Amino acid sequence: MTDHSAFVAALRRLDAAAKLVDIPEETYVRLRHPKAVLTVSVPLRRDDGSLEMFTAHRVHHNDLRGPGKGGLRYHPDVTLDECKALAFWMTCKCAVMDLPYGGAKGGIAVDPKSLSQLELERLSRGLIRRIAEFIGPQLDIPAPDVYTNERIMGWMMDEYAHVVRRHEPAVITGKPLGLGGSQGRSDATARGGYVCIAKLAEERGWKPAETTVAIQGFGNAGQGIARLLAEDGYRIVAVSDSSGAIVSRDGFDVPSLIRAKNDTRKLEAVYCQGSVCDQVDAERISNGELLELDVDILIPAALEDVITADNAAEVQARVVLELANGPVTSDADDILDQRGITVIPDILANAGGVTVSYYEWVQNRSGDYWSAEDVRQRLEKRMAYQFDQVMRLAADNQVSLRVAAYALALQRLGEAAEAVGTRDLFNGKD
Ligand code: GLU
């Protein structure tokens, strides 16, 4: 493994947190070694009759606290190393939220926008046939991630049922409502982030109408948080997607922005084909420039590694809410910290998604389905509680929210490691 490994870089985050907690050394040993990895080749029969093979991975990082949990992404840059880092973050995220899960993640190295809808269905079903023995309601429960969505989860659940010859809705979360999905799952990631902002706003006495927000990434999470914040009166002054960014100092009308992105082009494919830039008449800037805008809140909601040691000194935002996984690199952490920028870390900020996934799994297993209001209240209560825990740990120890969130995760993982027995127990010192 080279120094450039995303997994090794992700583990570095444990170092500062380790100083705050007194847990068995063995916890770290366990976390440094993913439990199991699976790499498969998935054949796809293209619409023109040709056969193409795609590489896919699924990583079980750790299952001390419960079965693996985490998304499946479709992106050309998916690698095994990236999946390991993302699975590690899931272990920590589930621990921060005190969910009875470990961490897992996977994906296919594919550009899903190059596939027809039928090809996408065949590929998704093919993936499940390849990894069926590696997943299961008590083993590893996939969910949506970058460029996967509820329709794809529905196909996957259906395929899994064919493979195991029984209905198993709890094998996957983020499903359509008609197939056992949960109320409130589609905007859960955004709502979790929104709760973090609302809590911080309360503490800092922000007035929404005077608070400006830039959002990088206008997929499910980015659109959702734009909508929730705009409803409260926040000024969404910049948004971007993979084609570029747009800025409007007075703030965008978010519902029409979402409509422009999603409705104006054909929606018969599962992806929105439109770019916000093509649809809205506003000043265009680059994705890089959006990250450096002078705003109160910057929300990276797309991919990893967008704020790095190279551009962290240019970030002007007062607060960065990591709605994506891993948007700030560990080298950039210190720079932002020194400049007094508050970063609400991914393992807390975007944990609303996996939290409602957990609720979906509970509902599937009990057969008792909850109302949207019930789900929303449970999510808000849990997010607010864990947010307060992280804030308190950070204040008590004078560390960043990121270090505090990792310390909280380590504390809970350490308790689990202790409970299964450590060197002290087996040497009769416990
Ligand atoms: N992909 C989301 C994440 O990174 C959701 C995972 C899940 O619901 O299991 O947190």
Domain containing residue 67: CATH number: 3.40.50.10860
Q: Is residue 97 part of a domain?
A: yes
Q: Is residue 16 part of a domain?
A: no
Domain containing residue 294: CATH number: 3.40.50.720
The verdict on 203 and 139 lying in the same domain is no
Domain boundary among 179, 212, 242: 179
The verdict on 51 and 146 lying in the same domain is yes
CA of residue 68 to ligand 1 center, whole Å: 11
Does this model's pTM top 0.85? yes
Q: Is residue 234 part of a domain?
A: yes
CA of residue 12 to ligand 1 center, whole Å: 22
* Candidate of 58, 86, 90, 379 to mutate for ligand 1, largest count of ligand atoms within 8 Å of Cβ: 90
- By DSSP bridging, strand 283-285 and strand 244-247 are antiparallel
Residue-wise pLDDT tens for the chain (430 aa)? 445 799 999 999 999 999 999 999 999 999 999 999 999 999 999 999 999 999 999 999 999 999 999 999 999 999 999 999 999 999 999 999 999 999 999 999 999 999 999 999 999 999 999 999 999 999 999 999 999 999 999 999 999 999 999 999 999 999 999 999 999 999 999 999 999 999 999 999 999 999 999 999 999 999 999 999 999 999 999 999 888 899 998 999 999 888 888 764 433 344 555 676 666 778 899 999 999 999 999 999 999 999 999 999 999 999 999 999 999 999 999 999 999 999 999 999 999 999 999 999 999 999 999 999 999 999 999 999 999 999 999 999 999 999 999 999 999 999 999 888 877 777 877 6
The verdict on 127 and 77 lying in the same domain is yes
Token representation of residue 89? 């973050």
Helix %, strand %, coil % of the chain (to 5): 50, 15, 35
The verdict on 70 and 213 lying in the same domain is no
- Burial (0-12, 13-18, 19+ Cβ within 10 Å), 266: exposed
Q: Is residue 6 part of a domain?
A: no
Atom of ligand 1 nearest to the CA of 354: 8
Q: Note down the domain range covering 275.
A: 188-349
Ligand 1 pocket, Cβ-based, cut-off 6 angstroms: 69-71, 143-145, 173-174, 325, 350, 353-354, 357
Atom of ligand 1 nearest to the CA of 142: 9
The verdict on 174 and 215 lying in the same domain is no
Active site residues: 105
Q: At what angle do helices 401-420 and 80-96 cross, to 10 degrees?
A: 90
Q: List the one residue out of 63, 68, 65, 69 whose CA is nearest residue 356.
A: 69
Domain boundary among 332, 349, 366: 349
Q: Is residue 126 part of a domain?
A: yes
The verdict on 197 and 278 lying in the same domain is yes
Q: Is 160 helix (H, G, I), strand (E, B) or coil?
A: helix
Domain boundary among 157, 179, 201: 179
CA distance 317 to 295: 5
Q: List the one residue out of 283, 285, 282 whose CA is nearest residue 293.
A: 285
The verdict on 118 and 214 lying in the same domain is no
Q: How many domains does the chain have?
A: 2
CA distance 358 to 365: 11
Q: Is residue 397 part of a domain?
A: no
**338-377 burial string, b = 16+ CB within 10 Å, else e?**
eeebbbbbbbbbbbbbbbbbbbbbebbeeeeebeeeebbe
Q: Is residue 306 part of a domain?
A: yes
The verdict on 147 and 196 lying in the same domain is no
Token representation of residue 8? 């090794």
How far is residue 401 from each of residues 134, 137, 320, 364, measured CA to CA in Å? Answer: 34, 32, 11, 34
Q: Within 340-400, where are the H helices?
A: 346-349, 352-366, 372-397
The verdict on 148 and 55 lying in the same domain is yes
Cβ distance 93 to 13 under 8 Å?
Answer: no
Q: Is residue 419 part of a domain?
A: no
CA of residue 32 to ligand 1 center, whole Å: 21
The verdict on 319 and 194 lying in the same domain is yes
CA distance 316 to 37: 39
The verdict on 111 and 197 lying in the same domain is no
Q: Is 32 helix (H, G, I), strand (E, B) or coil?
A: coil
Cβ distance 180 to 171 under 8 Å?
Answer: no
The verdict on 281 and 256 lying in the same domain is yes
CA of residue 401 to ligand 1 center, whole Å: 20
